[in-house]
Amino acid sequence: MPPAAPVKIDVRNLTKRFGDLLVLDDISFQVGRGEFLAIVGPTGCGKTTFLNCLSKLIPTSAGDIFIDGRVADPRVHNISFVFQEPTCLPWRTVRENVAYGMELKRFPTDKIRERVDYMLGLVGLAETQHLYPNQVSASMVQRITVARAFAVDPDLLLMDEPYGQLDVKLRYYLEDELVKLWQTLKATVIFVTHNIEEAVYVAERILVLSNKPTRIKAEVRVDLPRPRSLIDPAFVQIRKQVTELIRWW
């Protein structure tokens, strides 16, 4: 099933071995421009390795990732990575944290200022912009990193269970916010989670990974209108379908 939009991210024959251990086994898929793709899989299926390869943090053993037809390179492309653990810099204010990615990419100062103001408004951090991360709540800390990730206008936004450490109510709230951000800023997102409900809630398409050595076991398109309802029978049906695909017990 190819993506509906023109191809933005093209992963070809991605393979990763650690010595004799084959972790990622010849994975190929494509992501359309502005698509929201979720990746789910059983625990220990190599999701982190997968993301580290996609973000070019570690080299692949074979195959590669192409962005707009060119081999992905953090120096050339705007790749953002929202980690599971908070990655705010404690010595920078909220505002300076949101600007950090753009500073590394040497955006012009005016553009940084303008863009930070815009992002702070979008995620509702304008009033706390001069506070330090340890002075704001845990959910705000994760919103700072999400704002920082969107601020660089990413070609590819990778998210590794960004809301995994938050409670359920906050999660729904932040997932709604994330979807809103994605719709407004039209980024291409790969969202990794082990929470199936979360994946069905946010994504347009879900890739289900197998146990190690990891392959793509199935692909599920989520063609539901937004905002989605967790009790909509169609939603429940997709959630059950993905759960069946993932179950290893």
Partner 1 sequence: MAYEEVKVRKPLGLILLPFFSVVCFFGAWELIVRAGIVPATMLAAPSDVGALFVDKLTNPNPDGATIFVHAWVSMQEAFLGYLLALGIGIPLGLFMGWFGVVRGIARPIFELIRPIPPIAWIPLTVFWFGIGLWGKVFIIWLGGVVPCVINAFVGVRMTNPTLIQMARTYGASDWQIFKTLCVPSALPMVFGALQIALASCWTNLVAAELLAADQGLGYLITMGRRLALPDMVVLGMVSVGVMGALIGLAIDEVEKRLLAGIRR
Residues that bind partner 1 (CB under 8 A): 55-57, 73-76, 78-81, 83, 85, 87, 89-91, 100-101, 103-105, 132, 134-135, 152, 158
Pick between residue 148 and residue 239 the one whose CB is nearest to partner 1. 148
Tell me how far CA of residue 118 lies from CA of 69, 126, 148, 150, 246, in angstroms: 30, 9, 11, 11, 39
- Name 10's bridge partners: 30, 66
Pick between residue 99 and residue 199 the one whose CB is nearest to partner 1. 99
Pick between residue 97 and residue 210 the one whose CB is nearest to partner 1. 97
- Cβ atoms of residues 216 and 37 within 8 Å: no
CB of 222 to partner 1, least distance (A): 27
Pick between residue 11 and residue 222 the one whose CB is nearest to partner 1. 11
Only one residue has tokens 């969107």, namely 150
CB of 23 to partner 1, least distance (A): 18
CB of 93 to partner 1, least distance (A): 9
DSSP codes joined into one string, 5-30: SPEEEEEEEEEEEETTEEEEEEEEEE
CB of 20 to partner 1, least distance (A): 26
CB of 39 to partner 1, least distance (A): 17
* Distance linking the first and last C-alpha atoms of the chain: 28
Q: How far apart are the C-alpha atoms of 31 and 48, rounded to whole Å?
A: 19
Pick between residue 56 and residue 239 the one whose CB is nearest to partner 1. 56
Q: Taking the CA atoms of 7, 36, 157 and 193 in sequence, report the sign of the dihedral they define.
A: negative
